[in-house]
């Protein structure tokens, strides 16, 4: 029997706006204009595109704006095809299935100061968070936007720039700023976050290596190369809800083994950075290779696209 682990919400494209060179802003709404499922500031959704691709995008609008999902998409000519499909083929009125929102940041929880570091279009999740923090006045925040020249989403960032909430760093004029100087010293009341190109996020990860894990949030555009474990051994996946036992071959991913048995798992990046394939685990000892789950979340969840097992049997909440 085929098992599905995918939940999607039907949305309609209500608006498409030019938002900079090669960037479009897409507004998705419920067909009957009802409220959409709630989300945290900077959460992600997976778009199930008409051509069969599934791609993950950050929400730009804030949670109080709950009748629509707004995403910004930069057309990548050499990408995997999702951005090209959205830019070239999707029109107002088209129906697109989206996942339930996931991820994002939890404002509060003892955090008094936020420092966001964004590279180009990586500003999108922090635009949502900045708007939420500005409206609720829950904490102080600064958004450092690192660009070469043109400001992405300029019309939507203007008021934050005028208020000094966004600090511009144009690399064409001054070179890339010192990330350590931007984030400052670690403190229990400060959360730092970064989204941008691979080189920037790698440097940010090094700069914040000594920070408490709960106070650092990193989002990546591209998944890192898969980890090849030369000592990988086969193991058994046990699905708690059905009692199904699935053998995972040495070197095979859990995702591939599940799909071979006809179990549909939501996927997007297939590299442990988007969170689409998060599944609960109950027994065993997973080997976590993702770049998104917090230490607390890893006690309950894993990403089947990249995770392995340190035990001969691993029980999943499926």
User: pLDDT truncated to tens, each residue of the chain (318 aa)?
Assistant: 344 445 789 999 999 999 988 999 999 999 999 999 999 999 999 999 888 888 899 999 999 999 999 999 999 877 777 889 999 999 999 999 999 998 888 876 688 999 999 999 999 999 999 999 999 888 899 999 999 988 999 999 999 999 999 999 999 888 889 999 999 887 788 999 999 998 999 999 999 999 988 899 998 877 777 777 777 899 999 999 999 999 999 989 999 999 999 888 888 788 888 888 899 999 999 999 988 888 888 999 999 999 999 999 999 999
CA–CA dist 40, 58 (Å, integer) = 11
β 216-220/190-196 pair status: parallel
Q: Is 34 a domain residue?
A: yes
Q: Is 306 a domain residue?
A: yes
Contact, 267 vs 288, CB < 8 A?
Answer: no
| Residues 6+ positions from 243 with CB-CB distance below 8 Å | none
What's the full length of the chain, in residues?
318
Q: Is 189 a domain residue?
A: yes
pTM metric for this prediction: 0.81
Range of the domain at 59: 3-99
Contact, 123 vs 115, CB < 8 A?
Answer: no
Kind plus residue range of the DSSP H or E element containing 256:
helix 254-260
β-strand partners of 141: 114
Q: Is 225 a domain residue?
A: no
Q: Is 179 a domain residue?
A: yes
Task: Let me know whether 122 and 180 are in one domain.
Answer: yes
Centre a 10 Å sphere on the Cβ of residue 214 and count the other Cβ atoms it contains.
Answer: 14
CA–CA dist 173, 310 (Å, integer) = 50
Domain count, the chain: 3
Structure tokens at 110: 């003892």
Q: Is 105 a domain residue?
A: no
Task: Let me know whether 243 and 205 are in one domain.
Answer: no
Task: Let me know whether 251 and 157 are in one domain.
Answer: no
β-strand partners of 294: none
Task: Let me know whether 259 and 305 are in one domain.
Answer: yes
Output phi, psi for 120, to 5 deg: 60, -125
Task: Let me know whether 174 and 246 are in one domain.
Answer: no
């Amino acid at each position: 029997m085929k098992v599905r682990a995918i939940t999607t919400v039907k949305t309609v494209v209500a608006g498409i706006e030019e938002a900079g060179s090669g960037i479009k802003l897409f507004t998705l709404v419920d067909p009957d204009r009802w409220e959409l499922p709630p989300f945290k500031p900077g959460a992600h959704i997976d778009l199930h595109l008409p051509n069969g691709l599934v791609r993950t995008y950050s929400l730009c609008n804030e949670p109080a704006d709950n009748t629509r999902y707004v995403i910004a998409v930069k057309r990548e000519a050499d990408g995997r095809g999702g951005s090209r499909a959205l830019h070239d083929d999707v029109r107002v009125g088209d129906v697109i299935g989206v996942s339930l929102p996931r991820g994002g940041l939890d404002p509060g929880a003892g955090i008094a100061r936020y420092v966001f570091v964004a590279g180009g279009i990586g500003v999108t999740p922090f635009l949502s968070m900045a708007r939420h923090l500005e409206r609720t006045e829950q904490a102080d925040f600064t958004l450092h936007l690192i660009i070469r020249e043109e400001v992405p989403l300029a019309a939507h960032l203007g008021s934050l720039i005028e208020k000094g909430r966004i600090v511009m760093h144009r690399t064409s004029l001054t070179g890339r700023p010192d990330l350590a100087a931007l984030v400052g010293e670690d403190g229990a009341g400060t959360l730092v976050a970064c989204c941008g190109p691979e080189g920037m996020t790698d440097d940010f990860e090094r700069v914040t290596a000594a920070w408490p894990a709960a106070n650092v949030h990193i989002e990546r555009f591209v998944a890192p190369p898969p980890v090849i474990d030369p000592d990988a051994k086969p193991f058994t996946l046990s699905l708690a809800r059905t009692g199904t036992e699935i053998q995972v071959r040495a070197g095979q991913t859990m995702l591939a083994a599940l799909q071979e048995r006809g179990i549909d798992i939501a996927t997007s990046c297939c590299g442990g950075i988007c969170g689409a394939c998060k599944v609960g685990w109950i027994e065993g000892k997973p080997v976590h290779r993702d770049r998104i789950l917090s230490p607390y979340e890893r006690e309950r969840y894993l990403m089947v696209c990249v995770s392995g097992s340190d035990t001969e049997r691993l029980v999943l909440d499926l």
